């Protein structure tokens, strides 16, 4: 088994539904252009309040991807 090297990127996902959906949106969109994504970390949660209710969720997501040899 060889050692691996990983790259690290950060994106922000948004959703009107939930924090979970915002994370999934961020990872799915990143996976369109970045190969070998293997892990993620949600580091910040923010949102917008509209008329006394949550308008949308915004989550900063860091993800690691394996660098190909």
pLDDT along the chain (69 residues), means of 10: 87 97 98 97 96 96 93
Pairing of strands 37-50, 53-66: antiparallel
> What does the pLDDT read at residue 52?
96
Instruction: Report domain extents, the chain.
Output: 6-66
> What does the pLDDT read at residue 4?
87
**DSSP result, the chain:** -----EEEEEEEEEESS-HHHHHHHHHHHHTTT---EEEEEEEEEEEEEETTEEEEEEEEEEEEEEPP-
Give the CATH class of 6-66: alpha beta
> What does the pLDDT read at residue 44?
96
């Amino acid at each position: 088994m060889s050692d691996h090297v990983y790259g690290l990127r950060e994106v922000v996902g948004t959703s009107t539904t939930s924090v979970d959906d915002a994370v999934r949106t961020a990872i799915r969109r990143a996976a369109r252009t970045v190969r070998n994504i293997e892990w993620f970390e949600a580091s910040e949660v923010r949102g917008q309040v509209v008329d006394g209710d949550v308008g949308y969720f915004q989550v900063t997501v860091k993800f690691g991807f394996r660098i190909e040899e």
